Structure 1
Amino acid sequence: MENDVTNITLLDEEGNEIDFEVITKLDIEKNEYVIVAPKNGDDNSEAVVLKIDKDEEGNDILYTIEDDEEFNMVSEAYEALFPEGELN
């Protein structure tokens, strides 16, 4: 995923499009991750952590992280960069 991407649109379980703002992209242990938040969410909307992978054609595919250890590693890296959720 390019570093200058600021917005992405994802499909929910029902096929509805949801617009997300890209908070940051992280490179950790040769893997890429992106932290996104719903654009139309309220201040209490939680950020979502997604792993970036590639398909056979080289296109980006975003996955939710199922492994607790991997999720915690990415969360800790994010919190180190943005203490207490500070984005600026």
Structure 2
Amino acid sequence: MEDREIMSFKDENGNKVDFEAVARIYLEEQEYLILSPLDGKEEDAFIFRVDRLEDKEELNLVEDDKEFEAVKKEYKKLLY
């Protein structure tokens, strides 16, 4: 059985939301993480850019359309 990487975050109401890491994508030395909610309410996945600040990692939601499409395209290459 393969290990699943589960991450927990708080939503805007302070409720805990669990996500599964679906994939790590690397584009031009930048790391991205694709997360899918575990609650089953949404089928969407979210793309986060992994920014390194000193000794910590910070996940930032990718909102730029061009950046989002580039990561999505690279992810599709992994699937096929």
Normalising TM by the smaller chain, what interval? 0.7 to 0.9
- Letter of the 2:65 partner, please give it: D
Q: How does 1:20-59 map to 2 (within 5 A)?
A: 20-42=19-41, 45-56=43-54, 58-59=55-56
Structure 2: runs of 5+ lacking an equivalent: none
Q: How does 1:59-78 map to 2 (within 5 A)?
A: 59-78=56-75
Q: Following the alignment from structure 2 to structure 1, what is the Cα–Cα distance between the partners of residues 25 and 58? A: 15
- TM-score under structure 2 length normalisation: 0.84
User: In the alignment, is the contact (CA less than 8 A) between 2:4 and 2:20 conserved in 1?
Assistant: no
Equivalent position of 1:81 in the other structure: 78
Greater share of residues in strand: 2
- Letter of the 1:50 partner, please give it: F
Structure 1: runs of 5+ lacking an equivalent: 84-88
Runs of 4+ in 1 over 4 A off after TM superposition: none
What RMSD in Å do the two structures reach over aligned CA positions? 1.8
The percent identity for this pair of structures is: 33
